[in-house]
């Protein structure tokens, strides 16, 4: 099960209380205060783990609490610190404070960590309050409570190229042709129910990552179809490949399909709609009307977008498209 949004409660450990005690030792005629300090509470730490790929573990386990500190003891013994807990999240997770809506961290690198809840300080024992004029203090302080927060975590997949288009536009078939990914492929709408990632390999050990998301239909931003909740997974991409089915079997106009999907991208965010884009006419092996392809090609040209004609069944145009994607991605990859 692919889970890309969860809400959890994190609670750091409370600090241990300070102790009130007095020395009672043989051969020490004048005792004195000997109450130790309480131990510090444990922290809650989030860590980006490259081996995690979903937030599923937090869907059914939403509360996470660190250990509290031990109370101080006599003979000036400080209480033990509470154990901290580490919560592993996938790379690409964005964490928000649900109460304020503030973004706390965007985990983009493996091993990146953030302490989201800090343990409370331990209280002071009565030995801390002894002075030359106050030699038998009874004061001691309680431990401080640890932080408690409700967090909202979103997973945004890290990919270089995002595939968008209507359901059954050929996105899953294309990703299976250019990478080792094997998504479910069938001839009915919404076969793809969750995002898929594939790594496209090229010579000289170079590669780029492609993301395939469920298809969009008109009104997706209103919740029609699968909605647009999966579009967050292509927000980080450098390039969008807009796949348009030009076969004669859909009964739809390719130009209208293109405009509809573009409008849905814009309804999600202006930044997503403004990303670099290429237009890909798919299922050329099933296209018998050159006019359908020509009108889509003219539309792409009028918008200054690169245009490709492919067939994932016959392999037509696949290698050319793959190399063009790679060149566009690598051209925008920071040096080093």
Pick among 3.20.20.60, 3.40.50.300, 3.40.50.1820, 3.40.50.10210: CATH of 161-331: 3.40.50.300
Domain boundaries, the chain: 1-20+31-130+138-155, 161-331
Instruction: Provide the percentage of residues in the chain whose pLDDT is more than 70.
Output: 90
Higher pLDDT, 31 or 263: 263
pLDDT, tens digit (0-9, with 9 covering 90-100), for 241-299: 999 999 887 778 899 999 988 888 888 888 888 899 999 999 998 888 889 999 999 99
pLDDT, tens digit (0-9, with 9 covering 90-100), for 148-159: 999 999 988 878
Mean pLDDT of the chain: 87
Binned at pLDDT 50, 70 and 90, residue 33 comes out as very high
Tokens of 120: 């409370």
pLDDT, tens digit (0-9, with 9 covering 90-100), for 307-329: 999 998 889 999 999 999 999 98
Which pLDDT score, from 0 to 100, does residue 168 have? Answer: 82
Which pLDDT score, from 0 to 100, does residue 228 have? Answer: 61
Tokens of 114: 């953030």
Report CA-CA distances (Å) from 129 to 45, 134, 141, 209. Answer: 34, 8, 10, 62
Is residue 124 within 8 Å of residue 141, measured between CB atoms? Answer: yes
Which pLDDT score, from 0 to 100, does residue 187 have? Answer: 57
Spatial separation of the C-alpha atoms in residues 184 and 234, rounded to whole Å = 20
221 DSSP assignment: G
Look at 15-24, 107-116, 173-182, 292-301 and tell me which has the smallest mean pLDDT: 173-182
pLDDT, tens digit (0-9, with 9 covering 90-100), for 150-188: 999 998 887 899 899 888 888 888 998 888 767 666 554
Spatial separation of the C-alpha atoms in residues 186 and 201, rounded to whole Å = 25
Assigned superfamily of 1-20+31-130+138-155: GTP1/OBG domain (2.70.210.12)
| SS3 call for 95 | strand
Spatial separation of the C-alpha atoms in residues 326 and 209, rounded to whole Å = 10
22 DSSP assignment: B
**Tokens 């205060």 -> residue:** 33
Residue 40: which of 92, 5, 80 has the closest Cα?
Answer: 80
Which pLDDT score, from 0 to 100, does residue 316 have? Answer: 92
Higher pLDDT, 204 or 35: 35
Which pLDDT score, from 0 to 100, does residue 335 have? Answer: 46
């Amino acid at each position: 099960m692919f889970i890309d949004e969860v809400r959890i409660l994190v609670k750091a450990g409370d600090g241990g209380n300070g102790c009130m005690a007095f020395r009672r030792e043989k051969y020490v005629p004048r005792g004195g205060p000997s109450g130790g300090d309480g131990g510090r509470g444990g922290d809650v730490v989030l860590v980006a783990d490259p081996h995690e790929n979903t937030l599923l573990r937090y869907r059914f386990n939403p509360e996470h609490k660190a250990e509290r500190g031990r109370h101080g003891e006599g003979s000036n013994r400080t209480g033990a610190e509470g154990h901290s807990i580490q919560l592993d999240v996938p790379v690409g997770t964005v964490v928000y404070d649900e109460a304020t809506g503030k973004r706390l961290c965007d985990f983009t690198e493996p091993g990146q960590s953030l302490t989201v809840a800090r343990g409370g300080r331990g209280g002071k024992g009565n030995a801390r309050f002894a002075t030359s004029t106050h030699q038998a203090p009874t004061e001691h302080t309680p431990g401080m409570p640890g932080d408690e927060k409700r967090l909202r975590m979103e997973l945004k997949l890290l990919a270089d190229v995002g595939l968008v288009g209507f359901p059954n536009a050929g996105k899953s078939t294309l990703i299976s042709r250019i990478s080792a990914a094997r998504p479910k492929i069938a001839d009915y709408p919404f076969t793809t129910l969750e995002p898929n990632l594939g790594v496209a390999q090229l010579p000289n050990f170079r590669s780029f990552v492609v993301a395939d998301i469920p298809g969009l239909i008109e009104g997706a931003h209103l919740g029609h179809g699968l909605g647009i909740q999966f579009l967050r997974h292509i927000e980080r991409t450098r390039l969008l490949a807009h796949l348009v089915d030009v076969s004669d079997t859909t009964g739809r106009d390719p130009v209208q399909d293109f405009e509809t999907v573009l409008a849905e991208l814009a309804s999600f965010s202006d930044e997503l709609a403004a990303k670099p884009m290429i237009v890909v006419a798919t299922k050329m092996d099933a296209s018998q009307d050159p006019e359908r392809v020509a009108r889509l090609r003219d539309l792409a040209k009028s918008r200054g977008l690169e245009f490709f004609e492919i067939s994932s069944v016959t392999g037509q145009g696949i290698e050319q498209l793959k190399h063009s994607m790679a060149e566009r991605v690598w051209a925008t990859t920071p040096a080093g």
